[in-house]
Structure 1
Amino acid sequence: MRTATGISPATVPHRTPGWQLAPYADHSAAFVFSSAPVGVHVLDRLTWLVLELCDGRSAGEITEHARTVLGERPDATEIVDGRIGRLLEAELITLESRSPA
């Protein structure tokens, strides 16, 4: 099953190498400095959280954890999928398909 944005809950996002995270002093957001491609990205707190959760968890597991911040919003999956999409566009993560057990 895929969500409206096309990411399967079984998909596993992985962080890519070659970037460094630098939180704002008040932790309201974070800079990400990447070397390939060279760039600077600013992540809001939720996108930052999603990036930190790309540690082997599936997209579905990331969404469940993000609900601690989002609450029981009916659009939580779409919100997290959107953040995953932004991280993909910035080349900070890659996606791996996980076969259902």
Structure 2
Amino acid sequence: ETAYLTVSLPAGAAQPADLGTWARAEWHIENRLHYVRDVTLREDAHQARTGNGPAVFATLRNTAVGYHRSNGEPNIARATRRANRRSTDLIDTVTSSYPTTQ
């Protein structure tokens, strides 16, 4: 398999082992956040396309993912379904003076 990467380093500073590490790190980000946003939260199907709508909804999605991850949830889809059934818990957490994680 051949992979091509574009980097802003001199050729001598971009060693093959480093390039492989950087490529894997990029895919880790892709799999950890973007996949969840695209598949679980169906970001690509969203209809907000103009003004600040896309940025606002992306921020809300990132906040939701971060909230669940900070609570130690390994499965964001399951955590989202659970949160949908208990929306008052989320509202209480966000509006509380002393937010706690469970």
TM-score range, shorter chain: under 0.3
Higher strand share: 1
Q: Which has the higher contact order (CA 8 A, sep 6+)?
A: 1
The TM-score normalised by the length of structure 1 is 0.23
Q: Which has the higher helix share?
A: 2
